[in-house]
């Protein structure tokens, strides 16, 4: 039996340049200060990645951080965070994925995997129960990720695989790291980092088990957490319909990324993407490790152009990125999801780049000659063709593979069609159509324009009310919901005002970001019913039961806040400027359903957010007092 409790106990460092392996034992202060997952990643990258390096050089470090609770019965404890300097944004790049990779890595003996250097030729890392080897992967290079998985899963039954497809190999800037067949560490171009290291795949198989500190307490808190999650009003809809629950409301609000953020919603959205159409294609539900919701769907297309396609899909991401963003139908968006997985490309960025390309084409800035074929919103054949060209850096794909921010600069007037924040394409949500904590968070997310790190745990999708000049959104729930929210009282009264039935966006954003960061540290899922009901109190209890490290709710939140601040410091060291935190100009100038973002008001909310974080209100730099509070004041 291991001497470690809750943790596997080691960080594995692999140097692809000299084939050096190191097992580094976890120190308890490190665990208490950073918890795990994104916390570990942030500290390692801050300390060991020199400032200003080229993200695609051998000096970049790719870190897989398994969430602390992975391997336990705690509901939804499946998540692993992967981080590196992003070739897209030039700042901290990071992404989170569930399923079973984390389980295998942790059961193989490692809480984190740190990959340094660059292999001389295409390689794969094989990890099993404490043993590591680097193997030649030349035979796999060039194969798409599903073909590669067929081979590796057959060769290593029971193993999980993190791998890249042709997009990663070709250093497409928004290439992703695939997590098995149907999942990915998608955003910020981590696949390109892996490709630049000549690393095709990481195969992990672990059978060692994890020793909990207090098995009885672990089971108890797991039961409690499950009851909490199941009691959330968000539970049943999410269980039956998954992330698609946001698709119709946002369409009704006219707050989608339709046709490259040129309309709030496509006219045929409801007809093509509503529940009946979706349910026709769904055959069953699939869960990640230890998940009680099983929000993912197994899709089986039985007729039509894409007949025969079966995969785990039907998420709001491909349907909005391709269906709404590029205007293709429901089944075509599933096909596009399949190809995104096969090529290994982030769906949001791919959809964003293609939507921009179509808009540029419609504006006459790119011609059919440039592409080799025509482009149009809704033309799924052309779009799939373009995806292929991008993945293989062919023709116009060479430029588009650079992402919207860089590609736009290649075209006269292209910038106005590039829908990104800090170089990362904006997903799904048009903040003009619906202004809320969720849309605000796109601006402040430390990894760039993205919606997954700042969702109000008590988000009310029934309402779309921009209150008090962008400073507040509607609360819309009763006293019971207010009371049940696990948030320190002082902060809760600031964040939610029952009398005016409003939520203060600046304050709630800061809380939501730290809370999600906490989830990404301990490896728990951020889906609405979980984010709603699981707070730092339950997490601290679970953390202590599993690891034996005594920690309070306030302390776990502080660890999460520390990680967020550390990442901000990293970004600042990489040259982030205050003016980077702005939406595309279009959001301030072009109206959607009569609405537009007021730049000044948004800036005010941003300043209030900085203040609530203890950061300088103008520059967004963490203040000295805050750094001292978090123990980050003596960093190099």
What Å distances lie between residue 352 and 2, 41, 66, 619, CA to CA? 47, 27, 29, 29
- Interface residue with other proteins among 19, 224, 226, 611 (CB under 8 A) is 226
The answer to the question of residue 210 lying near other proteins (CB under 8 A) is yes
Helices 38-48, 553-573: inter-axial angle, 10-degree rounding:
40
The answer to the question of residue 111 lying near other proteins (CB under 8 A) is no
Nearest distance in Å: CB 219, other proteins: 6
The answer to the question of residue 286 lying near other proteins (CB under 8 A) is yes
The answer to the question of residue 563 lying near other proteins (CB under 8 A) is no
Closer CB to other proteins, 72 or 608, in the complex: 72
150 three-class SS: helix
- Interface residue with other proteins among 9, 122, 212, 403 (CB under 8 A) is 212
Nearest distance in Å: CB 296, other proteins: 8
The answer to the question of residue 27 lying near other proteins (CB under 8 A) is no
Identify the H or E element spanning 40. Answer: helix 38-48
332 three-class SS: helix
Tell me the C-alpha distance between 250 and 430, whole Å: 9
Say if CB 116 and CB 14 are below 8 A apart: yes
Say if CB 162 and CB 201 are below 8 A apart: yes
- Interface residue with other proteins among 53, 134, 151, 294 (CB under 8 A) is 294
Candidates 161-169, 204-212, 439-447, 507-515; binding stretch for other proteins (CB under 8 A): 204-212
DSSP bridge partners of 421: 424
- Residue 429's nearest CA partner among 447, 401, 451, 407 is 451
Tell me the C-alpha distance between 352 and 626, whole Å: 36
- Residue 253's nearest CA partner among 442, 466, 469, 420 is 466
Q: Are strands 112-116 and 10-15 parallel, antiparallel or unpaired?
A: parallel
The answer to the question of residue 583 lying near other proteins (CB under 8 A) is no
Say if CB 476 and CB 462 are below 8 A apart: yes
Closer CB to other proteins, 16 or 293, in the complex: 293
Nearest distance in Å: CB 523, other proteins: 13
Nearest distance in Å: CB 229, other proteins: 10
The answer to the question of residue 237 lying near other proteins (CB under 8 A) is no
Candidates 35-43, 209-217, 488-496, 508-516; binding stretch for other proteins (CB under 8 A): 209-217
127-186 binders of other proteins (CB under 8 A): 128, 154-157, 180-182
Closer CB to other proteins, 180 or 423, in the complex: 180
What Å distances lie between residue 7 and 47, 68, 172, 562, CA to CA? 22, 7, 35, 20
Query: How many C-beta atoms surround the C-beta of residue 288 within 10 A?
Result: 22
Closer CB to other proteins, 124 or 360, in the complex: 124
54 three-class SS: coil
The answer to the question of residue 215 lying near other proteins (CB under 8 A) is yes
x/- contact string, 47-86, with other proteins (CB under 8 A)? ------------------------xxx-x-----------
Name the site residues for other proteins (rule: CB under 8 A).
1, 71-73, 75, 100, 103, 128, 154-157, 180-182, 207-212, 215, 218-219, 222, 226, 283-294, 298, 310, 312
């Amino acid at each position: 039996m291991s001497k470690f409790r809750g943790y596997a106990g080691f960080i594995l460092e692999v140097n692809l340049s000299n084939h050096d392996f190191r097992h580094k034992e976890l120190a308890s202060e490190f665990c208490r200060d950073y918890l795990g997952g994104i916390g570990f990643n942030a500290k390692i990258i801050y300390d060991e990645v020199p400032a200003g390096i080229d993200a695609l050089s051998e000096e970049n470090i790719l870190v897989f951080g398994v969430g602390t609770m992975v391997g336990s019965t705690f509901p939804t404890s499946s998540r692993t965070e992967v981080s590196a300097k992003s070739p897209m944004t030039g700042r901290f790049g990071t992404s989170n994925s569930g399923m079973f990779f984390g389980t295998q890595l942790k059961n193989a003996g490692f809480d984190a995997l740190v990959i340094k250097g660059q292999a001389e030729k295409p390689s794969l890392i094989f990890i099993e129960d404490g043993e590591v080897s680097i193997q030649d992967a030349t035979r796999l290079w060039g194969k798409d990720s599903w073909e590669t998985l067929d081979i590796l899963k057959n060769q290593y039954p029971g193993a999980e695989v993190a791998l890249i497809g042709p997009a990663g190999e070709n250093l497409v800037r928004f290439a992703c790291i695939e997590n098995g067949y149907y999942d990915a560490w998608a955003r910020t171009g981590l696949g390109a980092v892996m490709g630049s290291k000549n690393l095709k795949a990481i195969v992990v198989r672990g059978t060692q088990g994890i020793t909990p500190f207090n098995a009885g307490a672990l089971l108890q808190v797991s039961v409690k957490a499950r009851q909490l999650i199941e009691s959330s009003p968000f539970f049943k809809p999410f269980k039956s319909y998954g992330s698609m629950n946001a698709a119709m409301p946002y369409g009704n609000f006219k707050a989608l990324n339709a046709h490259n953020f040129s309309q709030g919603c496509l006219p045929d959205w409801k007809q093509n993407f509503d529940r009946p159409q979706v349910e026709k294609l769904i055959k069953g539900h699939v869960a990640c490790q230890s998940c009680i919701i099983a929000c993912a769907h197994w899709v089986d297309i039985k007729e039509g152009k894409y007949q025969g396609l079966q995969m785990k899909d039907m998420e709001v991401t491909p349907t909005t990125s391709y269906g709404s963003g590029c205007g293709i139908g429901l089944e075509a968006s599933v096909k596009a999801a399949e190809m995104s997985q096969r090529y290994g490309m982030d769906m949001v960025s791919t959809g964003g780049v293609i939507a921009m390309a179509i808009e540029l084409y419609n504006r006459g800035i790119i011609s059919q000659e440039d592409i080799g074929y025509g482009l149009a919103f809704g033309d799924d054949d052309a779009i799939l063709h373009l995806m292929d060209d991008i993945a293989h850096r062919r023709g116009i794909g060479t430029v588009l593979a650079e992402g919207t921010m860089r590609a736009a600069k290649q075209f006269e007037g292209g910038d106005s069609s590039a829908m990104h924040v800090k170089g990362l394409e904006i997903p799904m949500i048009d903040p003009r159509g619906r202004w809320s904590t969720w849309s605000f968070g796109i601006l402040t997310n430390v990894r760039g324009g993205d919606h997954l790190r700042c969702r109000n745990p008590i988000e009310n999708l029934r309402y779309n009310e921009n209150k008090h000049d962008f400073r507040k959104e509607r609360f819309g729930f009763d006293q019971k919901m207010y009371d049940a929210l696990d948030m320190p009282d002082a902060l809760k009264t600031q964040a939610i005002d029952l009398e005016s039935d409003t939520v203060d966006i600046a304050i709630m954003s800061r809380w939501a970001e730290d809370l999600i960061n906490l989830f990404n540290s301990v490896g728990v899922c951020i889906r609405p019913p979980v984010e709603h009901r699981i707070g730092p109190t339950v997490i601290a209890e679970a953390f202590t039961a599993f690891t034996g490290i005594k920690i309070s709710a306030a302390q776990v939140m502080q660890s999460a806040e520390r990680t967020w601040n550390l990442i901000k410091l990293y970004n600042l060291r990489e040259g982030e400027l205050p003016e980077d935190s702005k939406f595309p100009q279009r959001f301030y100038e072009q109206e959607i359903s009569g609405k537009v973002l007021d730049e000044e008001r948004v800036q005010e909310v941003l300043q209030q957010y900085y203040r609530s974080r203890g950061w300088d209100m103008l520059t967004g730099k963490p203040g000295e007092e805050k750094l001292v509070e978090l123990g980050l004041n003596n960093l190099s």
